[in-house]
Structure 1
Amino acid sequence: MMISEGDLDQLAEIELQKDEEEQEELGEGPAPPGGSSWQDISHPYYDVARHGILQVTGDDNYGRKLIIFSCCCLPPSHQLNHQRLLEYLKYTLDQYVESDYTVVYFHYGLRSTNKPSLRWLRDAYKEFDRKYKKNLKALYVVHPTNFLRVLWSVFKPLIRHDEKLRAAQKGGPPPPAKVPPPRPPLPTQQFGVSLQYIRDKNKGALIPPVMSQTVSYLKEKGLRTEGIFRRSARVQLIRDIQKLYNLGKPVDYEEYEDIHVPAVILKTFLRELPQPLLTFPLYERVQDIVRVETSLRVTKVKQMIESIPEHNYIVLKYLVCFLHMVSQESIINKMSPSNLACVFAVNLIWPGQGSVSLNALAPLNIFTEILIEHYHMVFSSRSPPGQVLP
């Protein structure tokens, strides 16, 4: 028997009222994980982020980024623009979806006063295309109720509660997987080795071959591609190309007929460096950029990057010069310095311990945006001998 959307809405409301009655009997319930407020008004989605609905809290036992959605942090519906919430969700996930990640959904705290409509939930799900789903390795639903079963009938079981969660609660976490000892890198290795290693193995080349090849190709073919650096590519294809580079074999991007492939390879190369291009010591100083008066930030950024090692500076200048060129075509490619910063910030710098928290994203993005937008001013004085520009 077919159930109309109106009937589903009514059924969902009945079940949600039952949930509320149970919650009231149990008390206030568990507190939201992490902080529930956001103090940085410069965040592009401050109006949504300040509620603490979404938290990026580090990695799970398998090294996958852990993203938490807490219903108890949802304000009453009249206080929250749900379209903005959807944009904020995508904005946050865009930082991580090219690698494996895990989502934990805390259902407790969803009430009739703060729940989005079923129509919004259905439309929102359609917005999350394969880009967001392909690397989602685990979805944990905590505190499931009959209301969720109604949702499952809407989404035709798109979500499956992971039984491992209950098993872990009873028997503790699963034993860590055995990892074989690391093998020494190949002489031709490009990914996962230091800039110095690549330079030593490539006759002193200042710019790593994978960077020079992808940048050259993208300069020629991709400057006017809409959404360049925002799109993803097949994970297995990227791994195959990485393997070719690591084995010292040629890579011809014309074969793949997809301009987004070299774009993803460039980001992947930066992300897999043992130490970020901007170096670990600079991380805390970058976080302080939001405390610097706006008119002084360009000068401050210039001073900060002049403190990094010469080789890092050369490679950074090469990369940012190219990104500045991309931004000059933003009317066509839709990649302004701000948009490019959202993509590249987490690939240029991260902390020595742990991972980038959601709170840290705003200063990282601001810093990177200044690098790109004010390229000529930031890199105006320090000119190491032998530097190479795109």
Structure 2
Amino acid sequence: MNQGNEYYDKEFVDPIDGFADDDLISPNDIKDCDPGKVSPLAPIKSFLERDNFESELGSPSDEIYNAEFDEISKLNIVDIIAEGDRAGRPIICVYAFRLPSTKTFNHEVFLQFLQHILDKYVELDYSLIYFHYGLRSNNKPPIKTIIKAFNAFDRRYKKNLKVLAVIHPTRFIKFLWKIFQPFISIKFERKMHYMNSLNELDDIVPVSKLNLPQPIIDYDNSLSDTTKSISSLILPENGIPLPTAQFNVSLDYILSHHPESELPPIVIELVTFLRSYGLKTQGIFRLSGEVNRINKLQQRINMGEKIDFLSDERYKDNINLAIVDASALLKVFLRSLGEPIITNALYPQLIKSLDVPKYEKKEGVKNFIKLLPEKNLILLKYVIEFLLDVANNEHENKMDANNLSVIFGPNLTWPTNQQVPISQLNSLNNFCYILISEYEYIFSNN
């Protein structure tokens, strides 16, 4: 290794020690990390300032895949967890161990594929988790490709990224850091986390929701016998929830302890507040709120406290913050039910009902929701009716049915294992879009 290289000799400052040894840094890597190949990117207009706001979020009717993307999707290198972190933000997981050999894999196309996936989420707050385990010299992308990726992922991809976590880093990550650090802002640097165990990750993201591949879990368990096993994170907690709990319990549990209402009280409270004060807020539901605040609000609500956003000490002088946190809570609630509104059992039927020609989709959705249990249908109708109100104010809040469907589609339904196959994301968004845009037709006589 060329110890004289200024990027490799530069002092590395990071809160986490213990970068494991690896054999990934080659002489060609050092040669290819010429600083002239990495350049800062020019700033661009903010999301809400651009004229094509709606088109950037994408329409559920957009065609997603070409043949190469379809093949990459089958490798499961990238997973989407629609709500995974503790603030209700979608999570994109990237698994290095699933990268094929560089002899057979086109990293240029994979970069395009990753951009295509991120384009669906970059205008929302989101988290990105890279699992470094399994990156070997035979499947490692060339340094030139990594530099190209750094330049391709411009400010549009970085500004709403709230957490960038690298799990099980090695010296190769340290090496890359020295290349890119001069071009990374202090603000972005604060979003980066290096974690040597899944226990550390659990502080930011509920690991139990990630449905991690077994090789990742096995490797983590092999690192140290002194740390808490990941199995303790994926087992349900002991104890019975409080009767007042409304987060991280089932819809049946909530309604059984609130027999006076057909709807979870927290949903009524959040929707009532947002309908009164948030309908004209630009980008409502795009922001996710600060994790600690959202966690504390959930704890207070589960203890039976009713949050009055107008008089609460934290919010009474900051209505915009109240709107952000209330909208985040509604998203978190939908995902914390354990089983989605659409139910696990009906998920295959939903996907089947959407796999029809465009002119048949509306009727297919109308027939599908007739299959829902009554309590689920009542909740779904209430939420969609509110989202229609939001969409009807799109001239001020910039959130039409397309934009809302990108956010709420994966929050209304997901497979049993919590992970939505990338190939089905557009179908879920399209389902939500039809519910909103065809509300009167879909819910009439239901």
Q: Does TM, normalized by the shorter one, top 0.5?
A: yes
1:124 corresponds to 2:180: no
Q: How do 1:13-162 and structure 2 match up within 5 A?
A: 15-16=28-29, 46=65, 49-50=69-70, 52=72, 55-56=78-79, 67-68=93-94, 86=115, 88-92=117-121, 97=126, 102-104=129-131, 108-111=139-142, 114=145, 117=148, 120=151, 124=154, 127-129=157-159, 131-134=160-163, 136-140=164-168, 144=172, 148=176, 151-155=179-183, 158=189
Q: What amino acid is aligned across from residue 128 of structure 1 in structure 2?
A: K
What is the correspondence of 1:1-390 to structure 2 with a 5 Å cutoff?
Answer: 15-16=28-29, 46=65, 49-50=69-70, 52=72, 55-56=78-79, 67-68=93-94, 86=115, 88-92=117-121, 97=126, 102-104=129-131, 108-111=139-142, 114=145, 117=148, 120=151, 124=154, 127-129=157-159, 131-134=160-163, 136-140=164-168, 144=172, 148=176, 151-155=179-183, 158=189, 172=222, 175-176=229-230, 178=232, 181-254=237-310, 255=312, 256=315, 257=318, 258=321, 259-382=323-446
For residue 67 of structure 1, report the CA deviation from its aligned partner.
1.0
Q: TM-score, normalised by structure 2?
A: 0.64
1:349–1:155 distance in 2 versus 1, CA, 3 Å? same
The answer to whether the Cα contact below 8 Å between 2:122 and 2:156 also exists between their aligned partners in 1 is no
Report how many residues are paired. 346
Query: Could you say if the C-alpha distance between residues 196 and 119 of structure 1 is closer, same or farther in structure 2, counting changes exceeding 3 Å?
Result: closer
* Closer, same or farther: CA 207–163 of 1 in aligned 2, 3 Å: closer
Q: CA deviation at 1:43?
A: 5.4
Greater relative contact order (CA < 8 Å, ≥ 6 in sequence): 2
| Distance in structure 2 (CA, Å) of the matches to 1:325 and 1:85 | 33
Measured in 1, the distance between the counterparts of 2:334 and 2:406 equals 15
Q: Against the structure 1 CA distance between its residues 148 and 43, is the aligned structure 2 distance closer, same or farther, given a 3 Å change threshold?
A: farther
* Contact 1:289-1:363 at 8 Å conserved across structures: no
Q: CA deviation at 1:294?
A: 0.6
TM-score by length of 1: 0.72
* Amino acid in the other structure paired with 1:97: Y
Once residues 444 and 324 of structure 2 are traced to their aligned partners in structure 1, the CA distance between those partners, rounded to angstroms, is 31
d(CA) in 2 for partners of 1:225, 1:18: 50
Does the 8 A contact of 1:95 with 1:342 survive in 2?
no
**Offset at residue 113 of structure 1 (A):** 7.2
Q: Distance in 2 between matches of 1:343 and 1:189?
A: 25
- Structure 1: state its 5+ residue gaps: 5-11, 20-40, 383-390
Q: Are the structure 2 counterparts of residues 162 and 218 from structure 1 closer, same or farther at C-alpha, using a change threshold of 3 Å?
A: closer
Letter in 1 for 2:79: V
Aligned-residue RMSD, C-alpha? 4.4
Report SS of the residue matched to 2:78. Answer: strand
Aligned AA for 2:306?
P
**For the structure 1 residues 49 and 104, does the alpha-carbon distance in structure 2 shift closer, same or farther, using more than 3 Å as the test?**
farther
Per-residue deviation at 1:246? Answer: 1.0
User: Residues 3-49 of structure 1, C-alpha deviation per residue, up to 9 Å, x if partnerless?
Assistant: 89xxxxxxx9x844968xxxxxxxxxxxxxxxxxxxxx965654695
Q: Is the 8 A contact 1:51 1:75 kept in 2?
A: no
Q: Note the alpha carbon deviations across 1:45-77, whole angstroms, 9 max, x for none.
A: 546955738610779xx9996711668698586
Return the offset for 1:167. 12
User: What is the Cα deviation at residue 220 of structure 1?
Assistant: 1.0
Cα displacement string for residues 367-386 of structure 1 (whole angstroms, at most 9, x for unaligned residues): 1111111111100112xxxx
Question: Structure 1 residues 190, 168: CA separation in 2 closer, same or farther (over 3 Å shift)?
Answer: closer
Change (3 A) 1:126 1:279: closer
* Counterpart for residue 36 of structure 2: none
Distance 1:152 1:291 in 2: 44
